[in-house]
Amino acid sequence: MGSASAHPQKPVKSVVIAGGGTAGWMAATALSHLLGKSLSITLVESKDIGIVGVGEATIPPIRTFHKLLGIDEKAFMNATQATFKLGIEFQNWREQGHSYIHSFGITGRECWAGEFHHFWLRAKEYGFADEFGDYCPELVAAKQGKFATSESMPLNFAYHFDAVAYGRYLKTLACDAGVMHVEGDISQVNVCEQSGNITSLTLADGNAIQGDFFIDCTGFKGLLIEDALHTGYDNWSHYLLCDSAVAMQTELAGPPVPYTKSVAHSAGWRWQIPLRERMGNGLVYCSRYMSDEQAIDTLRNEVVGNPINEPRVIRFTPGKRRMGWNKNCVALGLASGFIEPLESTSIHLIMTGLVRLMRLFPFDGVTQSAIDEYNNKFTSEMDAILDFIVMHYKVTDRHDSAFWQQCQRMDIPASLTHKLALFEQTGRVFLDDGDIFRVDSWTQVLMGQGMMPKQYHRVADEMSEQALKQFMAGLKQQVDNHVAKLPSHDAFLAQYLG
């Protein structure tokens, strides 16, 4: 082990963040608020580069992140036109005309040996089970367009917000906390010949920004992690066929609902994300099966409300960097990889990457063990999300177009093959630590997409038929009573945000 000390590591006192956007400003805000006393932080961003800013939906852990940073919910929501999100409605995924909701809640109640769906499957055999989702308050509230936050009856929720405004809001917090903001285009990333570490960024005006540690938030380009450090990229387009998106905003045509909509079409899917004053719309598609013109026409024909801006096309290669942390550089956001926006994981991945970096922060210098730990967790998290997303395309009865037929035929990761077989044959879901989607998410989506387990855990038979009937009825009654007391999402927003 002695060799590690042969190259004494340089302590990290200054951090340079390359790129603004959601990832850059999340990093600047988190580091300045949580580690700011011991670091000087500089963020370099170009005046001209726009934020991709289509990802306007989040998942619940963002609330924990905001708490950590002391972000005031009302101030943040007002600054970003935010609405509440209880889940995602999937239309036309299992088959044309079918719809189900993947909500953030816990369905029913579980016991030591089996999750609630085992009891539900048994009740279904007896003929007294309601829809699976009827036992989940978040799902029922979403369906009815209701929402409220209260201590006594908490709902598990996330947000829809304007990602560009979110970046601006965080920028204010970060700059108030002492982050240096430099505007300029990066013309060169300078690397030390001996160590291979990044030493500084040269800007177009000749100015050089020195740093001990660098965070790459330069989007798909990956100026530092890829162009300078040649980290490599795992291309996942054989699992995820969609490689393009077209996005546009429209005026709201009615009160915003508390959930995202995802509507499958012949070559991908379309999203609808309701903000306070506008609707975010987009169409995700595979360019082999749909041209940009067709995508733009389809989106224009299907959006509701007057367009606010022209549709713009975004290209992406689904996949991930071979390492999220290489040398003295960590990539966050699109620079670290992109799976696709289906389950709103982009902002979440920025957040988990940041929390992981801060826990392993190399104050005394970068060590290989910290890099390895970061990358192992990064890989297992990305692999787990890949499984969850691919499952939506694989477990479906759609084969009405060349795209869906290709989804049926395509190979899937071995880990997903195992998860699907396990669920279908035993009704069990066992997850890895890296899996951000819990058992409730897997069961809601798998059964929503049409996969019913062939058996349930026999622990459900320990309950008599009468007791099971009462148990199920009691749970449903609780959910109905809870949701009946809630105001409409719109009314709650007006009252809560004034």
What are the start-end ranges of the E strands in 258-338?
260-265, 268-274, 278-285, 312-315, 319-321, 325-326, 329-331, 337-338
| Cα(252)–Cα(362) distance, integer angstroms | 47
Beta bridge partners of 265: 268
Which of 70, 102, 100 minimizes the C-alpha distance to 86?
102
Q: And the tokens for 458?
A: 């026999």
Closest by Cα among 251, 72, 87, 75 to 159: 87
**Structure-block tokens of residue 134:** 């009827």
Q: Which two tokens stand for residue 181?
A: 């903001």
- How far apart, in Å, do the first and last CA atoms of the chain sit? 61
Assess whether 476 carries a catalytic annotation: no
Q: Are 87 and 150 in contact (CB under 8 A)?
A: no
Q: For residues 56 and 333, what is the distance between their CA atoms, to the nearest angstrom? A: 14
| SS3 readout for 83-94 | EEECEEEEECCC
DSSP 323-385: -SEETTEEE-GGGGEE--GGG--HHHHHHHHHHHHHHT--TT---HHHHHHHHHHHHHHHHHH
Distance CA 171, CA 94 (A): 41
Which residue in 347, 358, 361, 374 sits closest to 170, CA to CA? 347
What's at 326, amino acid-wise?
A: N
Edge-to-edge strands, sheet with 186-191: 186-191, 198-203, 208-210
The neighbour count for residue 213, using CB atoms within 10 Å, is: 27
Catalytic residue selected from 13, 67, 74, 85: 85
Show which residues are catalytic: 85
